[in-house]
Amino acid sequence: MAAAIAASLPTVQTAPTPAAPRQETLPASWNKSIDAEAEIPITTVQIDGLVTTKIIKHSLDSGSNAHGLLLGLDLDGVLETSNCFPLPNQSPDEDEKSVKSVGRYQSQMLRSLSEVGSVDSVVGFYQSAKLGAFFKQSLVEAQAIHQEKLRHGGIVIVHDTTTTSRGNASFRAFRLTKPFIEAHRRHNFSSASLINQRLTFSNILEEIPVKIRTNPLLNSVLGTLTESHRSPLSCALPSEATTSAIPPTYSTLDIGSVGLTRNLEQLIEAVDNHKVEESNLAYLSRQIARERLKADQYITKRREENAARIAQGLAPLPEENISRLFKIPPEPSRLESMLLLGQIDGFSKSLASASSSGLVTMYAVKASSEA
Amino acid sequence: MVSRFFRQAGDSDSDTESSDEESLTSGDEASKPAAPAKPKSRFLHSGGSSDSESSPSEEETEDSEDEQKPAAAGQKVSRFLATGSDDEDSDEEVKRVVKSAKDKRLEEMEATGNSMNNALKINDWTAISTGQLRNKQTSEFDKLLRMVQRQQNVGEPIPPFFIHTIVDLETSVNDAQSKDAKKKMNATNARALTAMKQKIKKTLKDFEKEVKRYQADPEAFEREYTAAVTPEVTTKATKTRKIEDAADQDDDTFQTVGKGGRVLQFTSENVFKELQHVQEARGKKNTDRSEQIRILEKLLEVAATKYQRIRVLLALVSARFDYNASVTTHMPTDLWTAAQKEVDQLIDIVATDNHYTVEEVTLDYDELAERTPDEEGGGIVRIRGSIISFVDRLDDEFTKSLQNIDPHGTEYVERLKDEKYLYTTITRAQAYYGESKTQGDSLTRVIMRRLEHIYSKPDAVVNALEASASNTDVRAAASKLGSTSLLIHSLCVHLYKSGNSLLRTRAVLCHIYHYALHNDFHTSRDMLLMSHLQESIHSADVATQILYNRTIVQLGLCAFRCGLIKEAQTTLQEIFATQRVKELLAQGVHQQRFQALTPEQEKAERQRQLPFHMHINTELLEAAFLVSSMLVEIPLLASIDSEEQKRKAISKPFRRLLDFADRQIFTGPPESTRDHIMQASKALQNGDWQQCRDLVQSIKIWSLMPEAATVKEMLAERIQEEGLRTYLFTYAPYYSSLSLALLSQTFHLEVRTVTSIISRMIWNEELSASLDQSAGVVVFHRVELTRTQQLAQVLADKVNALVEQNEKTLDSKLGGSAGWGDRGDGGKGDKREQVQERRGRTGARGGTSRGRGRGGRFQQGLGNQMNEVKVR
């Protein structure tokens, strides 16, 4: 397992590797024979109850942008995440220092965990998102880095805080698809390459089924907690007649539309962003077209000149490198607009689901008020 | 006589000469003295008749003689005195007269020679060579050379003193150079000397022969010269006299007519010859155009046969049009009038006798031979020429003169009166072409000209023109039709049938304009829409585009007069949005702020300008536009509540003005039309419809509108209605119900009208209210949009925009019309929408309906996915 451990070491850029001394003694050819699991692709992700609660707690505490590392092992195509720990919140304008400190924190944490004897192999990270719009440059970038370093490319678990607050915790596991990794490696997100790779926002990530596992002991505890039992007082009010340790929630029956408004606002913002991005792209492509036209004209002119010179019996002028004469700007990257589209998609899907459930509740309310 | 010869030979000592003569005359008796002097003076005078100065002085002397004769009979002493004075006079006369052109030259040459000699004496080479010393531009030597050159050109011998001078000069130059004197000279002088030497060398070479002869025997040379000059003078004198006798009308053109004088003047026999002469001279550089015209006029008088008259008339009219060489200036009015009369004559001749036709393309014929119908094949004499081009040119020149005359002067009005005659000529031409039926193209052209004269004029003016046309003996069929509309209709119909698409377009526009002028809005609008001109007008020529703009503007004014405010607003909107109304109507050159026009552009622009009497008053136009904008825009402003919608203005120019007026801190009493309208708008916004009405009605420019009173009444009515609407929009949120009676009282409208307006607003979903007929109130249902609903609307708008953007991109990717968005009824939908806009429906409605249409298609396209979402 040593090799596996070495391979799955945390890889945030500057993190000093908490290298195990045995690492060097292991020949590279052994890797395969020792680590048989690397051959088996992951088909399911199994999340421990501990991980879910920790993620939910972290997300609730830190608000929107909570993320942390997942620890665990893969076994027979099932990635078992048994633990996780949060990472400090990254500000968008992260500087060198904060990155370093994050890396330091991460390595220390891992060392401490291994000292305790807990699992210390990183298998991915988790990220909280709102309203299903988890497509962000940072997420994709981080995942792309992990993909190269981590075992099986690593996974990302997205936790949607909004649905959680509605009483319906959502966890989804993703990993990057091959076309995207290919494109990312070549840093080529031009329209042509997107078309070639058949890359749209919907196939940047592929979803892996998630299974939440709680150990039987915990199950039984939960069962006892939710089980209602009659009040010992016989003359109790009907509302207090049955009590349970965890009272049942009725948040699904809430007919307020606060979430809807927020959803709409964010959707509008995303659409606006997309529009801005589109106009940027259009501007760039116009500029490219203009430059290219200039270059083409130059080339044809030079060719005609050369033809005339040859006809006159003169040596043709050298066909100079046009790239030196004309600076054709590189094709703009479509990644950003693609991600924005993904965001819009996420927002509208959550909007659709929220409004459909809202409609159902409305009908229910109507029916009940009529009854 | 002897004295004269002396004078001729060496005029240098004229002083002695005259004194000599004086002594001679004074020595004689009183009766004699005048006798030799007088004939001589006359004789000499005629010899130098080319000198214009001399002729009045001669008359003077004659006058004085006439006066003297009776005086001589009376008093002897006085007579003596008189003759004495006369003698002196004549003497002076002689002295002056003798200076014929040639003599003058000689004298000048001598003077120059003398000054050169003087300069030589003081060694002043600069004066000789460059003439700097005397502040002259040309040097003395150059002057002399030039004069000799002239002498040679005229064919006269070179005077010996010239040769003498140059020979002298050469020697002195050589002397000066060889001498040490050169060293003493200053730099300029030395330079001048060197230059002089060069020049002398050259000159000597030129006159090598003469110089040799002179050097061989100076005296012989001089004698030769005198011999050459003397007979020359006499012959010349006699010759000029002859010419003077003959050419009493003019003296410049005998080169073209023939040197032999005008013995055989213009007779009908040589008409063709003369005509050919004139024709040959035409367009040449030195031809005197006015003289040609005179010759042709003479020829016209003597022309006997019809054929001759036609030929001469054709030439004469072209000669008149040729008179002005430059394009920019217009033809003088008298010439124009004459040309117009002659075109009339021409048409008359051709129209009365159908054996003669004037055609642009004919078989070759002998220019010099007389032709009669009997000799020609088919009995018709075809003459090359083009009456229609004359008519066109007449019309063009008329327009040009109107463009150039100050429109505020009486001259303009005077000139405008000529339109009557021009119009008559045009109708005449039309009648001729209508009857001859051979030149259909010319007929359409002349009809177009006629139409362009009358389409923009009110009935009274057209009737006056028609009356003047029918007063003359024109048998124009069209003019008998009576009503102007019928006349224009018949003219236009004729043009529609013609094959020329440009003329057809113009005819349609004129027709529409005419209908619009007669307040027939619906007919003219339908014609405009049916013509589909608005789609193709961008490719038309500038003149037609101007006509189109005029038509549109007139249509807008017509709608305004008819009280169709919305239509007027939408029609005028387009032209006012450009802010170059004057330029678009060709009523003034637009000042380019950023780039100056090139002279050519400016010239072209100026030529396009319409004459003043055809202008549409732009101030009136603006007033109409702004008032209609006010009536449309103010209720709209009141109806919208969110900032987002506020940006969508119907009339941007009006909105801009209103914003500007809003920003004004202090507003004085209104002065300009704009001020009036802006203050009226504010009053309307405040619900103060009476003030609004007063302000709008006090605009002075309405007086230029035909039927101003009815228009004002209409405006008052509209202001009442729109005031009510604005009031309802503005104050509806503050009421739960409003009494209809109160509303009708406040706005001085009938209850029925109030009810209908409110009903319309309710129906258009502009007002959420309902009418309670029994209680006579309108009950408002104010619905506040929740935040979610507002957001949903915003989102819908944004997504709509996104979809449209996508479709546009797709269209451009797929290439033009093959796009997804234009499939099927897409194209038609657009067209229909345009029509709707033209018809004056609000643009906003068109926009939303289009949005919905596209949205539907979008939904279809994404059908599967949408269904999926629903299923989930």
> To which H or E segment does residue A352 belong?
helix A335-370
> How far, in Å, CA of B215 to CA of B127, rounded?
26
Instruction: Say what the pLDDT of residue B78 is.
Output: 43
Using CB atoms within 10 A of its CB, is residue B434 exposed (0-12), middle (13-18) or buried (19+)? middle
> How far, in Å, CA of A35 to CA of B709, rounded?
102
- Tell which residue, B619, B507, B502, B505, has the closest CA to residue B557: B619
DSSP string, B790-818: HHHHHHHHHHHHHHHHHHHHHHHHH-GGG
pTM above 0.80, yes or no: no
In a domain, B95, yes or no: no
CB A110 within 8 A of CB A142: no
Are B186 and B282 members of one domain?
Answer: no
Assign B64 a pLDDT band (cuts: 50, 70, 90).
very low
In a domain, B844, yes or no: no
CB contact under 8 A, B791 and A275: no
Are B317 and B368 members of one domain?
Answer: yes
The domain total for chain B is: 4
- Is B805 in the A-facing interface, judged by CB distances under 8 Å? yes
Nearest-5° angle of CA B670, CA B620, CA B563? Answer: 100
Q: Tokens at residue A31, please?
A: 């890797």
In a domain, B813, yes or no: no
Please report, as a single letter, which amino acid is at residue B318.
S
pLDDT digits (tens, 9 = 90+) for B448-478: 888 888 888 887 788 777 777 776 554 444 4
- Is B787 in the A-facing interface, judged by CB distances under 8 Å? yes
DSSP string, A175-215: EE-HHHHHHHHTT---HHHHHHHT--GGGSEEEE-EEEE--
Are B182 and B290 members of one domain?
Answer: no
Contacts of B854 (CB under 8 A, 6+ apart): B800, B803, B804, B807, B821
Nearest-5° angle of CA A75, CA A81, CA A84? Answer: 150
- Is A268 in the B-facing interface, judged by CB distances under 8 Å? yes
Are B78 and B109 members of one domain?
Answer: no
CB B670 within 8 A of CB B626: no
Which residue carries 């081009």 as its tokens?
A: B389
pLDDT digits (tens, 9 = 90+) for B346-365: 888 877 777 777 777 777 77
A-chain residue closest to B802, CA distance: A275
Q: For residue A356, which residues of chain B lie inside 8 Å, CB to CB?
A: 872
Assign B228 a pLDDT band (cuts: 50, 70, 90).
low
Phi/psi for B828 (5° steps) reads -60, -40
CB B130 within 8 A of CB B116: no
Residue A165 burial (CB count, 10 A): 14
- Tell which residue, A212, A217, A220, A159, has the closest CA to residue A48: A212
Q: For A139-148, A171-180, B264-273, B437-446, which range has the lowest pLDDT when averaged over its residues?
A: B264-273
Are B182 and B278 members of one domain?
Answer: no
Smallest Cβ distance to A261: which of B788, B869, B872?
B788
> How far, in Å, CA of B103 to CA of B233, rounded?
10
Instruction: Say what the pLDDT of residue B644 is.
Output: 55
In a domain, B458, yes or no: yes
In a domain, B476, yes or no: yes
Are B299 and B390 members of one domain?
Answer: yes
Q: For residue A267, which residues of chain B lie inside 8 Å, CB to CB?
A: 795
What percent of chain A stands above pLDDT 90?
A: 0
CB contact under 8 A, A268 and B794: yes
Instruction: Say what the pLDDT of residue B734 is.
Output: 84
- Is A281 in the B-facing interface, judged by CB distances under 8 Å? no
In a domain, B607, yes or no: no
With 80 as the cut, is the pLDDT of residue B549 above it? yes
pLDDT digits (tens, 9 = 90+) for B94-130: 444 444 666 666 777 777 777 777 766 676 666 666 5
- Is B228 in the A-facing interface, judged by CB distances under 8 Å? no
- Of B501, B517, B535, the residue at which a domain comes to its end is B501
Instruction: Say what the pLDDT of residue B235 is.
Output: 44
What percent of chain B stands above pLDDT 70?
A: 62
Q: How far is B792 from chain A (nearest CA, A)?
A: 7
> How far, in Å, CA of B347 to CA of B705, rounded?
40
Instruction: Say what the pLDDT of residue B850 is.
Output: 39
Instruction: Say what the pLDDT of residue A31 is.
Output: 61
Are B429 and B314 members of one domain?
Answer: yes
Assign B307 a pLDDT band (cuts: 50, 70, 90).
confident
Phi/psi for B775 (5° steps) reads -90, -10
> How far, in Å, CA of A116 to CA of B229, rounded?
143
- Tell which residue, A94, A122, A86, has the closest CA to residue A10: A122
In a domain, B96, yes or no: no
Which residue carries 């959803």 as its tokens?
A: A263
> Hey, which residues does A71 pair with through a beta bridge?
A83, A122
Using CB atoms within 10 A of its CB, is residue B822 exposed (0-12), middle (13-18) or buried (19+)? middle
Instruction: Say what the pLDDT of residue B229 is.
Output: 57
Are B75 and B112 members of one domain?
Answer: no
Instruction: Say what the pLDDT of residue A362 is.
Output: 83
Smallest Cβ distance to B798: which of A260, A271, A278?
A271
Q: How far is CA B168 from the centre of its chain?
A: 61
Residue A316 burial (CB count, 10 A): 13
Phi/psi for A123 (5° steps) reads -115, -5
- Tell which residue, B722, B762, B514, has the closest CA to residue B630: B722
Helices (H), B303-439: 306-322, 333-352, 387-404, 410-417, 419-436
CB B241 within 8 A of CB B339: no
| Boundaries of domain holding B108 | 102-229
Instruction: Say what the pLDDT of residue B646 is.
Output: 60
pLDDT digits (tens, 9 = 90+) for B718-764: 888 888 888 888 888 888 888 888 888 888 888 888 889 889 888 88
Instruction: Say what the pLDDT of residue B85 is.
Output: 42
CA A230, A231, A233, A234 dihedral sign is negative
| CA distances in angstroms from B237 to B33, B49, B94, B101, B694, listed in the order given | 24, 9, 15, 12, 87
With 50 as the cut, is the pLDDT of residue B18 above it? no
> How far, in Å, CA of B656 to CA of B675, rounded?
13
- Is B794 in the A-facing interface, judged by CB distances under 8 Å? yes
Q: For residue A132, which residues of chain B lie inside 8 Å, CB to CB?
A: none
Please report, as a single letter, which amino acid is at residue B862.
L
User: Chunked in runs of 10, what are the mean pLDDT values of chain A (371 residues)?
Assistant: 40 41 55 64 84 86 78 82 80 66 84 83 82 72 72 78 76 82 77 76 83 86 77 62 65 66 85 88 86 85 85 75 69 81 85 83 84 71
Are B111 and B62 members of one domain?
Answer: no
Q: For residue A265, which residues of chain B lie inside 8 Å, CB to CB?
A: 791
Instruction: Say what the pLDDT of residue B847 is.
Output: 37
> What is the pLDDT averaged over residues B130-144?
56
Q: For residue A275, which residues of chain B lie inside 8 Å, CB to CB?
A: 798, 801-802, 805
Assign B89 a pLDDT band (cuts: 50, 70, 90).
very low
> What is the pLDDT averaged over residues B36-45?
44
Q: How far is B794 from chain A (nearest CA, A)?
A: 8
Contacts of B651 (CB under 8 A, 6+ apart): B569, B573, B576, B629, B632, B633
Q: Helix (H, G, I), strand (E, B), or coil: what is residue A4?
A: helix
Contacts of A177 (CB under 8 A, 6+ apart): A203, A204, A205, A206
Instruction: Say what the pLDDT of residue A256 is.
Output: 64
B-chain residue closest to A267, CA distance: B795
- Kindly state the DSSP code that residue A266 receives in the 8-state scheme: H
Are B378 and B432 members of one domain?
Answer: yes
Instruction: Say what the pLDDT of residue B5 is.
Output: 45
- Is A272 in the B-facing interface, judged by CB distances under 8 Å? yes
- Of B443, B478, B501, the residue at which a domain comes to its end is B501
Contacts 24+ apart (CB under 8 A), B503-507: B503/B444, B503/B445, B503/B448, B505/B531, B505/B533, B505/B540, B505/B544, B506/B448, B506/B451, B506/B452, B506/B544, B506/B547, B507/B448, B507/B451
Q: Helix (H, G, I), strand (E, B), or coil: what is residue B222?
A: helix
Instruction: Say what the pLDDT of residue A25 is.
Output: 56
- Is B862 in the A-facing interface, judged by CB distances under 8 Å? no
Are B320 and B431 members of one domain?
Answer: yes
pLDDT digits (tens, 9 = 90+) for B308-318: 777 778 888 88
Q: Across all residues in chain B, what is the average pLDDT?
A: 70
Q: How far is B730 from chain A (nearest CA, A)?
A: 29
Instruction: Say what the pLDDT of residue B20 is.
Output: 43
CB contact under 8 A, B869 and A352: yes
- Please tell me which residue, B790 or B47, carries the higher pLDDT value: B790
Q: For residue B787, which residues of chain A lie inside 8 Å, CB to CB?
A: 261
Q: How far is A166 from chain B (nearest CA, A)?
A: 18
CA atoms within 13 A on the CB side of A248: 11
Are B326 and B468 members of one domain?
Answer: yes
Assign B82 a pLDDT band (cuts: 50, 70, 90).
very low
CB contact under 8 A, B802 and A257: no
In a domain, B750, yes or no: no
CA atoms within 13 A on the CB side of B658: 21
CB contact under 8 A, A274 and B805: no
> What is the pLDDT averaged over residues B268-285?
70
With 80 as the cut, is the pLDDT of residue B323 above it? no
Q: How far apart are the first and last CA of chain B?
A: 136
- Of B734, B757, B778, the residue at which a domain comes to its end is B734
pLDDT digits (tens, 9 = 90+) for B825-869: 444 444 444 444 444 333 333 333 333 334 334 334 333 343 333
> How far, in Å, CA of B165 to CA of B168, rounded?
5
Largest CA distance in chain B: 146
